[in-house]
A and B are shown apart, each in its own frame.
Chain A
Amino acid sequence: GAVVSQHPSWVICKSGTSVKIECRSLDFQATTMFWYRQFPKQSLMLMATSNEGSKATYEQGVEKDKFLINHASLTLSTLTVTSAHPEDSSFYICSAVGLAGADSYNEQFFGPGTRLTVL
């Protein structure tokens, strides 16, 4: 149980275009989802915390108008990289925390990641 998927697993796009990445909790409901960015050979950097039905909370230094997050349901959060540029190329990873009272509560379950390359 507690599986999180991401789609797509990799994407290549041209500079100036927008890219949407989906994060789904497949077998549990997630009140909270997190979005991370990972640069090569580095740790994960938390970008934002996404709560279902409310606006995402962005970490300091993360542009909320560039990285749009929508958590429309208890099983889906999306990250849209708007007007992508080569410096946005990175590995994006999401995670999800289950509902209180569930086995998945109080633990983050990670998706497999999405490799974004902006040409």
Chain B
Amino acid sequence: GDSVTQMEGPVTLSEEAFLTINCTYTATGYPSLFWYVQYPGEGLQLLLKATKADDKGSNKGFEATYRKETTSFHLEKGSVQVSDSAVYFCALSDPSGAGSYQLTFGKGTKLSVIP
């Protein structure tokens, strides 16, 4: 079945540091890939997505590139801010899977940015 593996946290960085959160996946078809962010006490917000190989998703300074050859979708940001502190989830949606548009989530990575 489909699965998503992302680096376990927590990750603690100083403000303006470079961020990488690794994410790899396994899927039977050609999935779409997503990064969601969850701020404390809130639901999930879509951060960025990519729907095919070599696509780069970007938003709010975050980027991730869909790498089919390495089955990866690593999240990066060049300079993090305190306001980026949140839990980040990598996810995939496999149209050939059992449920249309169902998302398979990674376990989440908690990021804490300190001033």
A→B interface (CB under 8 Å): 6, 32, 34, 41-44, 46, 49, 57, 93, 95, 97, 106-113, 115
Contacts and interface: CB of A to CB of B under 8 A. Distances in A.
Interface string B38-61: 000111111001000000000000
Given A42-B107, A43-B106, A44-B89, A113 B101 contact: no
Given A42-B107, A43-B106, A93 B101 contact: no
Nearest to A34: B102
A113 B89 contact: no
B105 interface: yes
A57 B32 CA distance: 23
B99 A44 contact: no
B83 interface: no
B70 interface: no
Contact of A107 (B41, B46, B89): B46
Given A43-B106, A44-B89, A44-B105, A32 B100 contact: yes
Contacts of B100: 32
B45 A110 contact: yes
Nearest to B107: A43
A112 B42 contact: yes
16 contacts: A34-B102, A34-B103, A42-B108, A43-B89, A43-B106, A43-B107, A43-B108, A46-B102, A95-B103, A106-B32, A107-B101, A108-B93, A110-B43, A110-B45, A111-B43, A113-B43
Contacts of B107: 42-43
B38 to A, nearest CB: 9
A26 B41 CA distance: 21
Contacts of B108: 42-43
A110 B105 CA distance: 14
Interface string B78-106: 00000000000100010000011111011
Contacts of A113: 41-43
A49 B101 CA distance: 10
A49 B102 contact: yes
Nearest to A32: B101
Most-contacted residue by chain A among B43, B99, B103 (CB, 10 A): B43
